[in-house]
Structure 1
Amino acid sequence: MSQKNKKNAVIIGAGGHCRVIASMLISQKKYEFIKILDFSEPKEKKILNINVEKIDNNFEAYNKKSFDFYLAIGDNKKREVWWKKLNEINISCPSLISDKAIIERNSEIGEGNIICPNSYLGVLSKIGDNNIINTGSIIDHETIIENNCHIAPGSTIAGRVTIKNNCFIGAGSVIKDNLLISEHSILGAGSILLNSIDKKKCLYVGVPAKFKREI
């Protein structure tokens, strides 16, 4: 792509996840320039040499054909709010896939996903919209992850698992094959899940993972 035809990128959020997204965008060299917008007056003026500014919410000022937006927001609920807000005004939120991720054939990836380095999406897996597949996560064959989920670093999800909307899968956790994770569920870091989470809004933790409380 010639320099004059390159688009521009805006990252919303200046926390830790912002650095991952910024690094991916820099390495791919797809954008003429990148800007970071934070929710409050930024403590840092630059992150990875990218300017950081406070959000002014005047998104109509952005030429929708020239800008792509990426949500650097780890919290599912907050990220979903911003996803809906940007979609309502037709802001482009494409998926960002690391060059170091492995995406098998016939997998499906929706919009607004962040597929981080060293993650793996198995054959016939399906990823909906606005998910984070974090560093080193394994999503095996025919697994379905719906929308607004965060799969934390180092998670292993075996084949034919279904993870419903707004779930958080903690770092280093393991999910056995053919299980269901119901909406708004949380699996604690390092847990091993051997049975489905059939009820919504539940926290499971431990080895093996057991019901802890409703959330």
Structure 2
Amino acid sequence: MVADGVVLIGAGGHARVLADALHLLGLAGRAVVLDARPELCGTRLLGIPVAGGDELLPRMRSEGFTQFFVAVGGVRAFGLRRRLFEAAVQAGLAPGVLRHPASVVAESAVLGPGSQVLAGAIVNACAEIGENVILNSGSIVEHDCRIGADVHIAPRACLAGGVRVGRQVHIGAGATICENLEIGDRAIVGAGAVVIRDVPPEAVVAGVPAKAIRRSGS
């Protein structure tokens, strides 16, 4: 769970979702937002103050903030999410685990540091979620799945039992991954895709059934 003094890193759309969750958890009054855009300094994000940019991370712990969440989403944001995660850890902050009150997490599931389980998301029995992972609204991670670090599973995506997802993968909104498949590192699965075979690392796949259309670095 989340302790006192929470730092949200980022002030965009995904940050608003996390801010709303902090309100529901009763933690918004002990939170602060950091964002690199100077014009946002002094403003508020759903009532939570924006104190400045991430250059303030090294002083956050001395000001009573102990935990953080990387509040950045986006299809290709995994590199930025990793850099921010590591910068916050280096600054002495601990990655929290956020569970929205309307999410369902099995007792046998494991949630990694910095993971975010949002409204309506389901994490079923014996699933393992890596660090800095977003399980967005209404997503489903079924039994025995293994999710690597920095993955974003978008709203209403569904992973059937036994799926293995590598690091820094984006699974688009409404996509379906059939049981026991493997999604390679830094792959992107398009919104609404139905994946019926393994996806190689760095592949971008889309369609029904999903087919490779390019590499994620291109």
State the TM-score, normalizing by the size of structure 1. 0.92
Find the residue that maps to 1:42 and give its secondary structure. helix
Task: Give matches, 1:111-130, under 5 Å.
Answer: 111-130=113-132
Task: Give 2:17's aligned residue.
Answer: 20
Structure 1 segments (4+ residues) deviating >3 Å? none
**Kept in 1: contact 2:133–2:150 (CA 8 A):** yes
How far the C-alpha of 1:43 sits from its partner, in A, is: 4.5
Aligned residues: 209
- Per-residue CA deviations over 1:112-151 (Å, capped at 9, x if unaligned) read 0111010000100000100000000000000010101000
Aligned counterparts of 2:101 and 2:5: Cα–Cα separation in 1: 19
Q: Identity of counterpart residues, as a percentage?
A: 28
Higher alpha-carbon deviation: 159-168 or 63-72: 63-72
How far the C-alpha of 1:15 sits from its partner, in A, is: 0.4
Aligned counterparts of 2:57 and 2:100: Cα–Cα separation in 1: 26
How far the C-alpha of 1:73 sits from its partner, in A, is: 0.8
How far the C-alpha of 1:63 sits from its partner, in A, is: 2.4
Task: Give 1:78's aligned residue.
Answer: 80
**Kept in 1: contact 2:139–2:153 (CA 8 A):** yes
Task: Note the aligned Cα RMSD (angstroms).
Answer: 1.6
Task: Give 1:3's aligned residue.
Answer: none
Higher alpha-carbon deviation: 179-188 or 22-31: 22-31
Aligned counterparts of 1:8 and 1:142: Cα–Cα separation in 2: 33
Aligned counterparts of 2:8 and 2:89: Cα–Cα separation in 1: 15
Alignment equivalent of 1:137, drawn from 133, 136, 139: 139
- Per-residue CA deviations over 1:65-105 (Å, capped at 9, x if unaligned) read 64321110112110011111122233111111111100012
**Residue 67 of structure 1 pairs with residue 69 of structure 2:** no
Task: Give 1:200's aligned residue.
Answer: 201
Alignment equivalent of 2:4, drawn from 3, 7, 12: 7
Q: Which runs of 5+ in 1 are unaligned?
A: 1-5
Aligned counterparts of 2:111 and 2:19: Cα–Cα separation in 1: 20
AA of the residue aligned to 2:152: H
**Kept in 2: contact 1:42–1:53 (CA 8 A):** no
Task: Give matches, 1:156-175, under 5 Å.
Answer: 156-175=158-177
State the TM-score, normalizing by the size of structure 2. 0.91
Find the residue that maps to 1:10 and give its secondary structure. strand
**Kept in 2: contact 1:142–1:159 (CA 8 A):** yes
